[in-house]
Every structure is written in structure tokens, then in C-alpha cells.
Chain A
């Protein structure tokens, strides 16, 4: 909200001597941070941030009221000539409870002497141009100065009566901005005998608007239910200065005052004469007292605060008070719609004392702390291990295009159950079923940027369509692309292979054989649900298991096998043969070299298989291990392998 420094000073002389920085700090300490300060036509203009609950502060008068309370200063009363209330010159009927109070007046306009220069300048500070239509400019000025929106109708276009009522289905209204609005029964209207003439508290109608030719005006200064105005403004996408203020709650007691001020300006600027002024309805009954208990205030403040002090501070804000020993009965002023419970009052007491006076203490530990959840620890451990292993953690958006999603979604996971009804765009419309499409795009970006080797991972939820709605599960995806090594004198560059990625997965403890996917030329990927990876180890020190202290005996067998030979079945055959003869002394075997060369028999390759043996109770002899090896070799030969000469 824009605030002109000169106009703010006019509402509270106590701030005249404050510098801009001091004023900004004071406003911020009251909950009104200043986003920007600028100079417009020689006037200092502040852009003040007002929270949604403080409709009362959306004007110079309102903001000055809070400053006055904080500074314990007095605001001069609003200069006003009270209009004599008379009989209704035409009927005003309030047919909806959402408008309890409607002050009006009829005036005949005389010679337009123009909007005064200081008001033109003030409106310029507020970012609007004076229209040189006195009724419009004055209404606009009053809104910014005192926070109460008013409206003027061209009286000669209004038929018969003013009725505040709910719209009926099928009705419509062309608003001042020239747009035809289809109305619903949730729209509150100002209507005449002929139909709608204004959206209550939001915008006037085109037909009844004031023009240079207008001779008679009907003034409107009313109170409308904030919730009704908010919904209307939202439904019609019509956020006017008026709906902004009515929607956050104006002061109903200001309705007759603002009408009087508007009338006085028309008399002064346009030689207008009053035909009559009257008010329909009445002020809403004052809200019930809120009881602030001493212990509640002390708890929230963190120190004992005397009830006298609380009463004094709330009194400065305009609250009416009844006191007994330890409880304060508080009736908030008509402009404070946000004071509803005792905690609200406690905040006001602290706000008036200054939040900087709140003490600082750590709360005592009342119960034992909970352990960190296994799910969080698992993700954190995995991320740290992968980062230390050379991978880069990524964060990518959870939604993607249907096409990108379809490339990796399983058939039992239809996109419809994961699709947003109001996405930012088609490319952000589906909650992803897999992280791989995102990582593929990220991998390609890095390769395009010239990375030789791309190593990425992400831990994030993926979505599954279920009849109950979208379900999430955490997955880990790893992408490895390009070539590895070759950047020092010990390693040679080579393309990344599927086995590299499988090794990483196995190292992380992935159960079973994982499926390595080729996302693009030279770009390999794995996606593993975190549920298939080991949970964070609960025990730091596991149960002791005796380990073997006798020497390990290693034997290498160079085997010629067919090119299509499955390593896994050969390993199983050799292992079971080894277990049969060596029993627990057989530790395991592994392939340590693969050799393919034209010097080998056609269709054959050579595998160097290393077997390891170790007994738990003695040193093995060469002879017994050689004997076992013969048996193991027979197992391999049964699958067509032969010892390479």
C-alpha cells in the first residue's frame, strides 16, 4: 500500500520530526514493513506491506492510528461537518444481512471548480491520475486518506429505489471497466427498480456512472461483509481498491463519516447543494467481550505483565475494558475485525510494548528426544556415499510432460491419476512415475555443456496412480554417462559400462540383479526403490563373529568358454563343486579378467577365475587345495569349459 509521507504527517503530528529511516523502522516494528521508499513529485512515498488481517491499516488514518498508539500520541479528529440526517427522499432497502448499514445523500452539482491541486498531487502520490470529476476524485482521495471506499451514482440514471440484495440467476451487469459480468446468487448487488447497478463493495456499473454531464449524484457509503466481498472479487477476478479494503474489513462506524466528508468536498469543489442525507440500517452490534487472562498473557510474553499495563496499551488501541482481578474483558474497537481471541489481545500487548522486548530462553526438554527416522537416515547415508563416490546430487521438478513421463511409466501406472487439473503448462502437468526422464534431460544438459563424464543421482518420490489417489514412494536414480578415467597418469580413459553402474548398486546393497537402462548413447541409468536398499544400520557395533586367522590360499584357473557362456551358471557349477569338496573352507570365486582375442579358438573367450580357500582351524596344504581344484575344474568342464593351455 502506498503512503505519502506528507499525508501521514497530517494524520499524526507526533511523527513530523521522524526521519524516513526511523519511521520505516517504527512501522516495521509494528508489523508494517516498508518494501520501498521513493520520491514522486517531491513527495516521499512509502510502499508499506500490510498483512491480510489488518484491513483497518489500509489508509493513512489507519496506519497513523497504530503509530499514535505505539507513541502514546493523540490524533487530531477528522475535520468534518456532520450532515443533518433527514427523511428518505427515495427508498433504500437493505434485503441482505451482508449489508447492515448504508449511508447516502443526494446532491445537486453546481459549477465544477476543479479538484484542488493538493488533492491532485496526493492522488499522484497514490499512483492515480485525478479525473477532474469531483465525485470520483474525492471518493478516491477519501479511500486512500481514511480507508473507507465510497461511491457516487448519477442520480438521474437510477430508477426509483436503491436495493441492496443478492443477485438472481440470469442477471448481469456491465461494470465500470466495460466488462459484462454474469451474476450468481452469491453476488451482492446494489440494484434499482430496473436491475443491478453495482457490485456491492467491488465496482460500480457503467450505466449509472458519474460523468462530466452528471447534474445530480447519489452518494453511497456503506459497510459490506468482508467474506462476501472477497468471494465476489475472486470470482469475478476484479480486485479494485474498494474490494481490497471491504474484503479485509473496513470500519462500519466510518460509513456516515465518509459520506459527510464526500458531501463536503462536493460542496467545496463543485458548488454542490445537499438535497437530503439519510442512513438505512444500523451499525452491527459490537462484538462480545474477549477475556484476556493474566496467566495466558504472562505465558505468551514470557514474563509477568501487570494487568494495568495491558489495559493501558489495549486502551490506546481503542479497546474498551472491564477489569477484575486477573482477567481483562476487552471489547475491540469497530475497526479491528482481527481481534477475536485472547491470544490476539496478548499479541497486541506485546506489539505495543515492542517485540524487541521479548526475552530469549530455551524451552526445557520435557520428554526424551525421538531418534532420527530410519527413512531420513537412509536417504542421507545414500546421498553422502554416492557424493563421495563421485556422483552429483540433483534436484529436479516433480512434474513433467505426459510424453516424458510415458517413456518410463509402467503400464499399471496410468498418468490420468497423477495429472494436475491446473498445471502451469502441459510440460509440467504429470507427477512423474520415474526420475529417469528428469535425469536423462539433466545428463544431456551436462554433456552439452562439455562434461566428459556425467555422474548424477537423485533421491525423490515417484508417483503411482491408485484408486484412492496418487501414492508416493521414495526412489534412488543414478545416471552415469560419457567416459571415465584418462585424466591422470595411472588410469586410461574408457567408456562407462553397465558393470560400473551395477557395481555401484551392489556396493549400496541393492538386492537382486538390477536393470541397467540405456537412456541415450553412452548414458546408463538405474532406478531403485529405497525399500530395496538396506535401512540405516541401527547397531553401530554388530554381534561378534569369529573370523578366520589362517592364511588364505588363492588359485587362478584360466578357462576357455563359449562366447555365449553365462558367467552366473558357471559360477554356480564351480561353487557347488567347491563346496562339496572343500566345505566351509571354500570362500568364493570371482572372475578377475576377461580375454577375447583372435588368437583364441573361434567362438571362445578366456576367463581368469580366482578361487579362494581358507580353513577355520588349520593352514591348508597345497596338495589338498590342488585336489579340490581338480573337482572344481570338472564342474566347469561339465558346462563346456576347458583349461586354457
Chain B
């Protein structure tokens, strides 16, 4: 383009075009620039067209080309700038109508399961794949189910009124002192059909009562989870294999178990079961009193007298039983300093200790 074809004011406008576009901060300003350059009245484009009309004939072709070139340049520049400004406006609008993403969202209100129930449910989940189901029994029990059927001698101190709660209006009715009477009930129920069932295996979770004063480590009501299996040729190795699986499932793969001989009237052999301290992994800490092991279960092979009492032939059937104190385990694992917290039910305790399943 020959610059001499165009007047100086047009050339000035052409030079100022990029700054004019840049200076537009909104669409209104851009419209004003657009009017100035390419508008229908009194714009640079209109003035150039008037120049073309009066130009000598031999210049018209070159001048026309120059004018069209300039007009196209301006229109493209204007369009591009308009796109930028429209995008900016959309963004500004959307910020103005949406929430501040930093503002915390309202959460649905959450409650909590009780930690003791949660632990019992977890144990049930753990034993489910081994074929155990859940059996429950009443808290108000007979002496026959709570003691006689479990090979507990008639002069055993646990039967005394210093240890066991008895109902005043019904002689021999008591609050069960362990979940073991569920064993007696279930074995008696299934005994006639045991051959067809192919034995039985179950957990009995529940509340039990003993005459202990309330203090940081005792409560007259607490929870136990009892487990029992009856089958053919059941030995101590089966008890160990089952509890080793369960303790690893509960505490993690490092949770080995250790059997120590012990005595409970309803099992023979009887043992106490230690698990490698879940808190220190066995290196010794406050919870395991430095020994690396914590006592967690009582267990053993079912005493022949218990099987016989229920109507099962101990020559054919054998089995094992185990029992866990739920509070004791929960306190140990959580290092809760005071048993009473579990029965106080402060929502803050339940929220931190219970949670949801």
C-alpha cells in the first residue's frame, strides 16, 4: 500500500488502532471505538469511502484496495477484542452468582454407633466367613442354664448371692453372669438334629451381669461375645487356627496368638489366649505391661459333661468354646481410661469412639 494515497489523519488513526483496542475495558468502550473506525456515520471508514469517490480515475483501483485492506484489519481486530471482553464478562458474572468455593459446605448431621456394639458387630463380620451365625438368649436365666449345664459345681462361689443377681419373686431365676447359657440353649435345641446339621458353630454376643461395684474397671453390667463350634474330631489346633484368624482380622496381620493353660469348669483342656500387643506390636508398652502380650480371651475344648448335659454324645461330638470381654478389649485397644465412659453415653465420647459402619 502506498501511504501517499491516504491522508495523514487516516494514517494517524491506523497507527492508534491497537492502543485504542487495548484501552477498551468493557464492551461499551469497544462499541465507541467501533463507531469511530467502522461506524456508518462520520467514521474513518466513511471518510475513506468519500475520498474514493473523488479520487482520480487512475488511482481508484489502488486506493480501493488500500481502503478495503484497512477496513478488514480494523473489523478483525474489533471482533477479536469483542470476544475477549465477552469472555471476561461471562467469567465476572459467574463469580458474582456462585458460592465462594472456600465456604464450607453444610454437612449432613452424623450420629454414631456405640463402640461396644460396633466391636461386637465387627466380630460377627469376622466370623461370618467361617460359617458362624448369631444366637441370642435372654438375660433373665435359670440356674440350670447359667450353671448346671456348664459343669459349674453346686458349691461354686460364682453361684452365691455375693456374685450373682437373683430375682426376689422367682426362686432360681437370675441375671446371666456370662453369655455361656446361650451355649446350653443352642446345644439342647440342635442336639436331636445335629447329625443332619453337620455340627453347629455360632457366636453369642450379649449383655451379662455380675455383682461388681461400679468403678473405673468394673461394671455390674457388661458385654461378652461367646463363640462355640461342635463337630467331629475337634482339637486344640482348631481352636488355635480359628482364634489366630480372628485376631489377625481384628487387630491386623501382626496379631499372633499364644495359648496358656488355664481352668474354666465348662472346658477341658482350658486356656487363656494372649494376642501380641496390638499397640506396641510386642516390643512392650504400658498396655501390655511390658510383656508384649495382652490377655484377650478364655477358651478351651467343650467339657464332655457340657455335651452330655445338652444331649450330645461326647464320644461322637467334640468342639471348642471361647469368650471375650467386650469392654475389656475395647478399653485395651482404645486406651480408654475409665470403663464408666462406655455407660455414660456422652455424645462427644460416642462421636469420637463409635463412628459409623
A residues adjacent to B (C-beta < 8 A): 28-31, 33, 51-54, 227, 230-231, 234, 299-303, 338, 341, 343-344, 346-347, 350-351, 355-356, 358-373, 375-376, 380, 383-384, 386-399, 416-424, 428, 431, 442, 445-446, 449, 451, 454-456, 460-461, 463, 469-472, 488-491
Q: Give the Cβ gap from B345 to chain A, nearest Cβ, in Å.
A: 4
Contacts known (A370-B133, A376-B136, A442-B345); A420 close to B168, Cβ less than 8 A: yes
Dominant SS at the B interface? mixed
Stretch in B20-28, B46-54, B67-75, B234-242 touching the partner: B234-242
Q: Give the Cβ gap from B263 to chain A, nearest Cβ, in Å.
A: 4
A372 CB contacts on chain B under 8 angstroms: 124, 128, 133-134
Q: Give the Cβ gap from A62 to chain B, nearest Cβ, in Å.
A: 15
Q: Is A371 in contact with B343, judged by CB distance below 8 angstroms?
A: no
Partner of A383, one of B113, B136, B170: B113
Q: Is B346 in contact with A445, judged by CB distance below 8 angstroms?
A: yes
Q: Is B301 in contact with A355, judged by CB distance below 8 angstroms?
A: no
Number of interface residues of B (CB under 8 A): 97
Q: Is B220 in contact with A421, judged by CB distance below 8 angstroms?
A: no
Partner of A393, one of B114, B261, B269, B344: B114
Give 1 or 0 for each of B256-280: 1 = CB within 8 Å of chain A CB.
0011111100001111100000000
List B174-201 residues whose CB lies under 8 Å from chain A: 175, 196-201
Q: Is B111 in contact with A390, judged by CB distance below 8 angstroms?
A: yes
Chain B minimum-CB-distance residue to A469: B170
Query: Max chain A CB contacts within 10 Å: which of B108, B109, B124, B351?
Result: B109
Chain B minimum-CB-distance residue to A451: B347
Chain A minimum-CB-distance residue to B236: A358
Q: Give the Cβ gap from B134 to chain A, nearest Cβ, in Å.
A: 4
Stretch in B35-43, B55-63, B88-96, B225-233 touching the partner: B225-233
Chain B minimum-CB-distance residue to A351: B261
Q: Is A361 in contact with B173, judged by CB distance below 8 angstroms?
A: no
Bound together, the chains give a CA A474 to CA B144 distance in angstroms of 24
Q: Is A391 in contact with B263, judged by CB distance below 8 angstroms?
A: no
Bound together, the chains give a CA A344 to CA B130 distance in angstroms of 29
List B308-357 residues whose CB lies under 8 Å from chain A: 318, 342-348, 350-351, 354, 356-357
B198 CB contacts on chain A under 8 angstroms: 366-368
Bound together, the chains give a CA A470 to CA B160 distance in angstroms of 20
Bound together, the chains give a CA A362 to CA B121 distance in angstroms of 22
Q: Is B133 in contact with A369, judged by CB distance below 8 angstroms?
A: yes
Bound together, the chains give a CA A231 to CA B153 distance in angstroms of 12
B residues adjacent to A (C-beta < 8 A): 103-104, 106-114, 116-117, 121, 124, 128, 130-136, 138-140, 153, 155, 157, 160-161, 165-170, 173, 175, 196-202, 207, 209, 211, 213-214, 219-221, 223, 229, 231-238, 240-242, 244-245, 258-263, 268-272, 295, 301, 303-304, 318, 342-348, 350-351, 354, 356-357
Partner of B168, one of A303, A419, A451: A419
Partner of B238, one of A234, A302, A418: A302
Q: Give the Cβ gap from A31 to chain B, nearest Cβ, in Å.
A: 3
Contacts known (A347-B261, A363-B229, A398-B209); A422 close to B165, Cβ less than 8 A: yes
Contacts known (A372-B133, A392-B347, A451-B347); A384 close to B139, Cβ less than 8 A: no
Q: Give the Cβ gap from A292 to chain B, nearest Cβ, in Å.
A: 13
B131 CB contacts on chain A under 8 angstroms: 365, 368-369
A460 CB contacts on chain B under 8 angstroms: 207
A446 CB contacts on chain B under 8 angstroms: 345-347
Q: Is A373 in contact with B134, judged by CB distance below 8 angstroms?
A: yes
7 residue pairs from A and B, CB less than 8 Å apart: A31-B260, A53-B263, A343-B301, A397-B219, A421-B166, A449-B346, A469-B173
Q: Is B167 in contact with A360, judged by CB distance below 8 angstroms?
A: no
Contacts known (A384-B356, A428-B220, A470-B140); A355 close to B260, Cβ less than 8 A: yes
Q: Is B258 in contact with A356, judged by CB distance below 8 angstroms?
A: yes
Q: Give the Cβ gap from B333 to chain A, nearest Cβ, in Å.
A: 17
Q: Is A234 in contact with B155, judged by CB distance below 8 angstroms?
A: yes
Bound together, the chains give a CA A587 to CA B350 distance in angstroms of 42
B237 CB contacts on chain A under 8 angstroms: 301-303, 358-361
Partner of A341, one of B242, B295, B304: B304
Q: Is B155 in contact with A461, judged by CB distance below 8 angstroms?
A: no
A488 CB contacts on chain B under 8 angstroms: 104, 106-107
Q: Is B111 in contact with A360, judged by CB distance below 8 angstroms?
A: no
Q: Is B269 in contact with A300, judged by CB distance below 8 angstroms?
A: yes
Q: Is A355 in contact with B112, judged by CB distance below 8 angstroms?
A: no
Chain B minimum-CB-distance residue to A34: B291
Contacts known (A363-B229, A369-B133, A470-B140); A445 close to B261, Cβ less than 8 A: no
Q: Give the Cβ gap from A252 to chain B, nearest Cβ, in Å.
A: 20
Bound together, the chains give a CA A303 to CA B258 distance in angstroms of 18
Contacts known (A393-B112, A395-B114); A362 close to B130, Cβ less than 8 A: yes
Q: Is B234 in contact with A393, judged by CB distance below 8 angstroms?
A: no
Partner of B139, one of A398, A423, A456: A398
Contacts known (A299-B318, A388-B110, A392-B111); A362 close to B241, Cβ less than 8 A: yes
Q: Is A469 in contact with B167, judged by CB distance below 8 angstroms?
A: yes
B107 CB contacts on chain A under 8 angstroms: 488
Partner of A416, one of B169, B219, B241, B261: B169
Q: Give the Cβ gap from A143 to chain B, nearest Cβ, in Å.
A: 21
Partner of B242, one of A363, A369, A463: A363
A53 CB contacts on chain B under 8 angstroms: 263
Q: Give the Cβ gap from B249 to chain A, nearest Cβ, in Å.
A: 12
Bound together, the chains give a CA A365 to CA B242 distance in angstroms of 12
Q: Is A33 in contact with B260, judged by CB distance below 8 angstroms?
A: yes
A351 CB contacts on chain B under 8 angstroms: 261, 269
Query: Max chain B CB contacts within 10 Å: which of A376, A392, A471?
Result: A392
Q: Is A424 in contact with B113, judged by CB distance below 8 angstroms?
A: no
Q: Give the Cβ gap from A205 to chain B, nearest Cβ, in Å.
A: 24
Contacts known (A33-B272, A361-B237, A395-B116); A455 close to B111, Cβ less than 8 A: yes
Q: Is A355 in contact with B345, judged by CB distance below 8 angstroms?
A: no
Q: Give the Cβ gap from B89 to chain A, nearest Cβ, in Å.
A: 28
Query: Max chain A CB contacts within 10 Å: which of B235, B244, B346?
Result: B235
Q: Is B241 in contact with A360, judged by CB distance below 8 angstroms?
A: yes
Q: Give the Cβ gap from A435 to chain B, nearest Cβ, in Å.
A: 12
Q: Is B161 in contact with A422, judged by CB distance below 8 angstroms?
A: yes
Q: Is B197 in contact with A472, judged by CB distance below 8 angstroms?
A: no
Q: Is A392 in contact with B351, judged by CB distance below 8 angstroms?
A: yes
Bound together, the chains give a CA A449 to CA B318 distance in angstroms of 53
B346 CB contacts on chain A under 8 angstroms: 445-446, 449
A362 CB contacts on chain B under 8 angstroms: 130, 238, 241-242, 245
Partner of A391, one of B111, B121, B140, B161: B111
Q: Is B343 in contact with A396, judged by CB distance below 8 angstroms?
A: yes
With A361-B238, A449-B346 given, name 10 new contacts (CB 8 A). Answer: A31-B260, A54-B263, A299-B318, A300-B235, A363-B229, A373-B135, A416-B168, A421-B166, A451-B347, A471-B140
B301 CB contacts on chain A under 8 angstroms: 300, 343
Q: Is B241 in contact with A361, judged by CB distance below 8 angstroms?
A: yes
Contacts known (A362-B241, A363-B234, A469-B167); A355 close to B136, Cβ less than 8 A: no
Q: Is B167 in contact with A392, judged by CB distance below 8 angstroms?
A: no
Chain A minimum-CB-distance residue to B161: A422
A28 CB contacts on chain B under 8 angstroms: 260
Contacts known (A234-B155, A392-B351); A420 close to B166, Cβ less than 8 A: yes
Q: Give the Cβ gap from B294 to chain A, nearest Cβ, in Å.
A: 12
Partner of B155, one of A230, A344, A449: A230
Bound together, the chains give a CA A394 to CA B347 distance in angstroms of 9
Chain A minimum-CB-distance residue to B303: A343
B153 CB contacts on chain A under 8 angstroms: 227
A421 CB contacts on chain B under 8 angstroms: 161, 166-168
Contacts known (A31-B262, A420-B168); A376 close to B134, Cβ less than 8 A: yes
Q: Give the Cβ gap from B328 to chain A, nearest Cβ, in Å.
A: 15
Chain B minimum-CB-distance residue to A29: B260
Bound together, the chains give a CA A366 to CA B245 distance in angstroms of 19
A470 CB contacts on chain B under 8 angstroms: 140, 167, 170, 173
Q: Is B136 in contact with A363, judged by CB distance below 8 angstroms?
A: no
Contacts known (A299-B318, A371-B133); A51 close to B262, Cβ less than 8 A: yes
